[in-house]
Amino acid sequence: MEKRVFGVTGVEVPVIGQGTWQMENDDRGGAIRALQVGLDLGMTHLDTAELYGRGRVEESIVAEVIAGRREEVFLVSKVMPSHASYEGTLRACERSLQRLKTDRLDCYLLHWPGSHPLEETIRAFEELVRDGKVRSWGLSNFGVDGLEEAVRIAGPGRIACNQVLYHLEERSIEHSVLPWCERANIAVVGYSPFGNGDFPRPESPRGRVLTSIAKAHGASPYQVALQFLIRRPSLFAIPKASHEEHARDNAAAASLKLSAEELARIAATFPMGPDTGELPVI
C-alpha cells in the first residue's frame, strides 16, 4: 500500500484508510473481519470518533481490531464539539483511550467547529501531545476562515490534517480548502468517498463513464473513484467497508494507475460546480 507523509507529522500514512462510522448498525463480526483484512492489506489508517455509536464503535469494534497490533495502526479519533472545552477535551480523550484499550492516539481531531472557544480545544490538544496521549492533532469540517483562526491560535506547523467531505459528486473543497491546506502542509483526509453509499449507479450516464474506465483496468468503479480522490499528494481517503470483499477492493485501489486523460475525463464527468463559499458536510 502506497504511503504518504501526513502533513507536518512527518509520519507515513497509507493513502487509503478505513472509516468506521455507522458500523454499530452492521454485523459486528463481519465489520471486525473487514477491518482486520483491511489492516492486513495495509489500510492501517483507522478513523473513528467518540460519536460513532455513542462510543460503541470505539469500544466494541475498533478496540478488538487493534488488539495485539496497535503498532501497525495510525489511529484517529475525534472529540465532539459539545465536549471540546479545555477540560472536556481532556476527559473525552481519556474516555476514548479507555474504550479503545490503548494509551495513545496517533491523531485527535475536533469533529466540527462548535461553540467552545477554539483556544480551549487547542490548549487541550497541545497538552495531550505533551503528555504523550496523542501524537498529533487536527481538525474536521473546517473551512478556510476556521483554519485561519486555528493557525492564529496554534501557530504554524501544528495542525496535522483537516478531514472533510470529498467524493466525486462533492468536490467543493477543491475551490479553496484544498489549496489552502496544501500551502500550509496540512493533510486533507476525504471522508465519505462513496457519498456514504450513494454512489453513481452503473446504468447512469456518469456511472457508465466510471465503468468504462474501470473495465479498461480490470478494476471496479469504486477503485476508480478512490484513485481520483487521492490524485494529489496532500490527499488521503477513508472509505468505510463492513464487508470483506469491499475492504479488499478498496485496498487494491491504491495500486490502480489512471492516465492524465482518464483523470481529466472523470473531472469533466463530475464537475466541481460553483464556489458557494460554503463547506458542505454530511
* Residue 198: CB minimum distance to ligand NAP, A: 8
Q: Is 163 in the site for ligand NAP (CB under 6 A)?
A: yes
Contact 159, 147 (CB under 8 A): yes
Residue 223 CA to chain centroid, in angstroms?
16
CB nearer ligand NAP, residue 47 or residue 261: 47
Size of the site for ligand NAP (CB under 6 A): 27
* Residue 163: CB minimum distance to ligand NAP, A: 5
CB nearer ligand NAP, residue 122 or residue 237: 237
Q: Is 191 in the site for ligand NAP (CB under 6 A)?
A: yes
Which residues from 5-24 bind ligand NAP, rule CB under 6 A?
19-22
Give the number of other CB atoms < 10 A from CB of residue 171.
20
Q: Is 271 in the site for ligand NAP (CB under 6 A)?
A: no
Distance CA 23, CA 240 (A): 8
Please say if 108 is a catalytic residue. no
Contact 32, 247 (CB under 8 A): no
Burial (0-12, 13-18, 19+ Cβ within 10 Å), 130: exposed
Which residues from 131-150 bind ligand NAP, rule CB under 6 A?
140-141
Binding region for ligand NAP (CB under 6 A) out of 84-92, 124-132, 233-241, 260-268:
233-241
Q: Is 96 in the site for ligand NAP (CB under 6 A)?
A: no
Q: Is 222 in the site for ligand NAP (CB under 6 A)?
A: yes
Q: Is 180 in the site for ligand NAP (CB under 6 A)?
A: no
CB nearer ligand NAP, residue 17 or residue 88: 17
Q: How far apart are the first and last CA of the chain?
A: 28
Residues that bind ligand NAP (CB under 6 A): 19-22, 47, 111, 140-141, 163, 191-197, 222, 238-243, 246, 249-250, 282
Residues marked as catalytic:
52
